[in-house]
Amino acid sequence: MARKSVIQREKKRQKLEQKYHLIRRSSKKEISKVPSLSDKWKIHGKLESLPRNSAPIRLHRRCFSTGRPRANYRDFGLSGHILREMVHACLLPGATRSSW
């Protein structure tokens, strides 16, 4: 189980990313449209003034139940070990052991 503080930190990043998502997207579009360099720097300054944790690059997927940052499966939002346990317990619909 990951530390609760780390999980909360990640949740905070997600909230910030959602909050500033539209502002970031619009300013990035403006940068591509504006021809002069000085205007581009101004818009870039606006981007820099936003909190760093609002950048989507800072987000990291974590296991839904344990908060583990590695070996995550996007389809389930779980880490490998928990995924295996849940498949054996028949908690994931459609997932079966395979052999071919």
Partner 1 sequence: MLLINRTGRGVSQKERPPKVTTTKIRIVIRSFDHPFLENHFGGLQPYTRKIGLPESRVLYIVSRSPHIDKKSKEQFEMEIKKKFPIIKT
Contact positions vs partner 1 (CB under 8 A): 71, 73, 75, 80-81, 83-84, 87, 93-99
Identify which of residues 43 and 83 has a Cβ nearer to partner 1 in the complex: 83
Nearest distance from residue 67's CB to partner 1, in Å? Answer: 15
Nearer to partner 1, 43 or 78 (CB): 78
Compute the residue count for the chain.
100
* Least Cβ distance, residue 76 to partner 1 (angstroms): 8
DSSP per residue, 16-71? HHHHSHHHHHHHHHHHHH--SHHHHHHHHHHHHHS-GGGSGGG-----TTT---SS
DSSP assignment string, 69-85: -SSEETTTTEEHHHHHH
Q: Find the shortest distance in angstroms from Cβ 26 to partner 1.
A: 36
Q: Which is nearer to partner 1, 38 or 96 (CB)?
A: 96
